[in-house]
Amino acid sequence: MHLHILGICGTFMGGLAAIARAAGHAVTGCDANVYPPMSTQLAELGIGLCDGFDPSQLDGVARDADVFVVGNVVSRGNRLMEAIMDRRLAYVSGPQWLAENVLGGRTVLAVAGTHGKTTTSSMLAHILERAGLAPGFLIGGVPVDFDVSARLTASPHFVIEADEYDTAFFDKRSKFVHYRPTIAILNNLEFDHADIFADLAAIETQFHHFVRTIPGNGHIVVNGDDAALARVLSRGAWSDVERFAAREVTAAVDWTIDDDGAVQHGGEAVGTLAFGQTGRHNRLNALAAIAAARHAGVAPHAALAALATFRGVRRRMELRGRSRGVAVYDDFAHHPTAIATTIEGLRRREPAGRILAVLEPRSNTMKLGTMKAALPGSLAQADRVFCYAGNLGWDPAEALAPLAGRAHVHDDLDALVAAVAREARHGDHVLVMSNGGFGGVHAKLLAALGADEVLGAATGGNVG
């Protein structure tokens, strides 16, 4: 089969391309932004790429395509998509193609929730890998231990990051309703994606639809301290349900974890989590992964041992370099809750030195200004805040006014870099937060600081 993928440079669609190629299919694709490293990774797989969405592809690289796989970056009015429809050519969404051609017959382990999907999926895949189960996976980031975001194996186990964003312009259901998992993690649920959801209740409905796809002999691992998820399950649950939470939570749960990492299941101690990830949120991510892995046959003590070797995910508190005693980190945080927990995790790990938060409000929800009122509180633990105001329809200076002199807003990236470099001093931690490439700001900061140690490079591509 020859697939031509529209929107191939997004993390999901690029991962799907790699999986399709590994399954023996011919794959080509196109996107509006074809550039390294995603373009390089795809080219190394023998995948032909076109820059842009010109209809001439139908008479060129895609002339023999059996099906066009359409990413959710593509909308009506896209010239190539319009030509595909006019010619009555076969097209399908990425999630549907994956479900019909890869996931069928496998034990699918799906990780859903507003926050922590990528990290928890990576932890779960790592646990299964260390247990010898060699899972396939498709994750919206790059786990350091695998160095790829997707792979196809002969294993019956497949881990997938289950995103609630819509599937395609012709299928407005959430992506995750296509996956039909045997084991599902529901990590947390808050309002997000204001560009497609009117309110939290609308997202809860999509999660309810997701729960409806889990078989009766399947398993749901759910955060027992999340009111929105409780409402979702109150609408119906037809599978085994296990709840997890931090030890201090008073609700009845099956799994708990202490601040020191001690894990209990059914009130009995099973071991202690010891790994390099910071923050309460990562302890809960790990607990969810341990609980889910047990249903795949991995004992909790073996999962704990595996997590002791887990090295994290790129762009999740990733140290990018140091200069003159200043550390520069990269993180994907873009929702106020994620911003707050990321800063809190860094503060706990590095209690000495100031935190200089550098923020790009880039997500569709942030661009709309839906959560601007929550930003000052989410940044409260930062000593200084530098916000990039490019392409926003609201005034971040006004939104961040409660932070007074601690907040600085720039609509020019070079000016922002210069301001951070002037402010930074020995012992500081510069925490860059964005769900995009942020104009290569990490490298620019290190160059402005006179970097003496550069450790990594951010991965390109969007999450679609």
The tokens for 401 are 């006014």
Cis ω on the peptide bond leading into residue 37 (within 30° of 0)? yes
* Beta bridge pairs of residue 93: 70
Convert the pLDDT of each residue in 259-288 to its tens digit. 899 999 999 999 999 987 777 888 999 999
**Which runs of E-coded beta strand occur in 136-192?**
136-138, 150-151, 157-161, 166-168, 171-174, 183-186
CATH code of 104-307, in short, is 3.40.1190.10
Helical H runs in 313-430?
A: 336-349, 364-368, 375-378, 396-399, 413-423
Q: What is the mean pLDDT of residues 133-154?
A: 91
| pLDDT for res 380 | 85
C-alpha–C-alpha distance, residues 52 and 64, integer Å:
19
Query: What percent of the chain is predicted at pLDDT more than 90?
Result: 55
Comparing 303 with 38, which gets the higher pLDDT? Answer: 303
Lowest mean pLDDT among 46-60, 145-159, 427-441, 446-460: 446-460
C-alpha–C-alpha distance, residues 280 and 338, integer Å:
12
What is the pLDDT confidence band of residue 459, given thresholds at 50, 70 and 90? very low
Q: How many CB atoms lie within 10 A of CB 266?
A: 9
Convert the pLDDT of each residue in 306-354 to its tens digit. 999 998 787 777 888 888 888 888 887 777 888 888 888 888 888 888 9
- Cβ atoms of residues 14 and 461 within 8 Å: yes
Could you give the angle at which helices 300-307 and 117-130 cross, rounded to 10 degrees?
110
Under 8 Å CB-to-CB from 80, ≥6 apart: which residues? 6, 30, 53, 54, 55, 57, 58, 74
What number of CA atoms fall less than 13 Å from residue 169's CA on the CB side?
Answer: 15
The tokens for 264 are 């209990």
What is the pLDDT confidence band of residue 464, given thresholds at 50, 70 and 90? very low
Report whether pLDDT(463) > 50: no
- Cβ atoms of residues 141 and 118 within 8 Å: yes
C-alpha–C-alpha distance, residues 419 and 369, integer Å:
24
For all residues of the chain together, what is the average pLDDT? Answer: 89
Q: What is the mean pLDDT of residues 185-199?
A: 83
Convert the pLDDT of each residue in 65-87 to its tens digit. 999 999 999 999 999 999 999 99
What is the pLDDT confidence band of residue 37, given thresholds at 50, 70 and 90? low
Report whether pLDDT(36) > 70: no
The tokens for 7 are 């929107």
| H helix or E strand, kind and range, residue 68 | strand 67-70
C-alpha–C-alpha distance, residues 272 and 267, integer Å:
14
Convert the pLDDT of each residue in 411-457 to its tens digit. 888 889 898 888 888 999 999 988 777 777 888 888 888 855 555 55
Report whether pLDDT(392) > 80: no
- Cβ atoms of residues 303 and 127 within 8 Å: yes
For residue 172, count CB atoms less than 10 angstroms from its CB and return exposed for 0-12, middle for 13-18, buried for 19 or more: exposed
DSSP, res 46? T
| pLDDT for res 35 | 61
What is the pLDDT confidence band of residue 292, given thresholds at 50, 70 and 90? very high
Q: Report CA-CA distances (Å) from 37 to 26, 119, 314, 434.
A: 21, 21, 13, 18
| pLDDT for res 329 | 87
Report whether pLDDT(462) > 80: no
| H helix or E strand, kind and range, residue 288 | helix 280-294
C-alpha–C-alpha distance, residues 195 and 464, integer Å:
14
Q: Could you identify the residue written with the tokens 């997890």?
A: 244
Comparing 62 with 279, which gets the higher pLDDT? Answer: 62
Q: Report CA-CA distances (Å) from 185 to 117, 260, 313.
A: 9, 23, 19
Say yes or no: domain 318-454 is CATH 3.40.1360.10: no
| pLDDT for res 208 | 97
End-to-end CA distance of the chain: 23
| pLDDT for res 456 | 52
Domain-by-domain residue ranges, the chain? 2-94, 104-307, 318-454
**Radius of gyration of the chain, Cα coordinates, nearest whole angstrom:** 22
Q: What is the mean pLDDT of residues 175-199?
A: 89
What is the pLDDT confidence band of residue 461, given thresholds at 50, 70 and 90? very low
Protein fold of 2-94: Rossmann fold (3.40.50)
| pLDDT for res 194 | 66
The tokens for 160 are 């997938």
Q: What is the mean pLDDT of residues 148-164?
A: 94
Under 8 Å CB-to-CB from 414, ≥6 apart: which residues? 444
C-alpha–C-alpha distance, residues 450 and 372, integer Å:
34
Convert the pLDDT of each residue in 434-443 to its tens digit. 877 777 788 8
